[in-house]
Amino acid sequence: MDKILECAKAFEKLLDTQYHIVIGKKGKSKEIDIAFETVDFHHLSGLHKLTDLRLSRANREKLFDDILSGGITLSDIERSRNFRNIQNRLEPLAKIEDLFDKNNLIFRYNEKANAFSLV
């Protein structure tokens, strides 16, 4: 199966799913709620980084639907000179449900180093 289609199908399975994650260290904990929306696929897959292609600026919901319908394929996005910057995102994204469902995730996040992040 086309890798970008595989990623979109894996992501589509999670559209009605929410994860509530509690992480902790040294007696302190943080709670994280994660929900999935079609518009999020664009960013997670890195399609926004393919600035030399129109799809980087396309309607994100329509783009997601076009990938699911086969209207946009991996060969379409491989045409970008920036594809090498996103190709390492595709394998984990295709397995996103498995990554969340396994109970052996290790999170490391430095809030100070990412001051402008919404995380």
Give the largest CA-CA distance in the chain.
50
Write out the chain's pLDDT in tens, 119 residues: 799 999 999 999 999 999 998 878 788 888 989 999 999 999 999 999 999 999 888 999 999 999 999 999 999 999 999 999 999 999 999 999 998 888 766 656 667 776 666 65
Instruction: Give this prediction's pTM.
Output: 0.82
Residue 65 is assigned to a structural domain of this protein: yes
Q: Are 67 and 50 in contact (CB under 8 A)?
A: no
Q: How many domains does the chain have?
A: 1
The pLDDT score that the predictor gives to residue 30 is 85
Residue 90 is assigned to a structural domain of this protein: yes
CA–CA separation, 112 and 96 (whole Å): 26
Residue 81 is assigned to a structural domain of this protein: yes
Here the tokens at position 25 are 């260290």
Which of 50, 59, 41 lies closest to 77, judged by CA? 50
Question: Which structural domain, as residue segments, surrounds residue 67?
Answer: 3-21+35-103
Residue 77 is assigned to a structural domain of this protein: yes
Q: Are 29 and 47 in contact (CB under 8 A)?
A: no
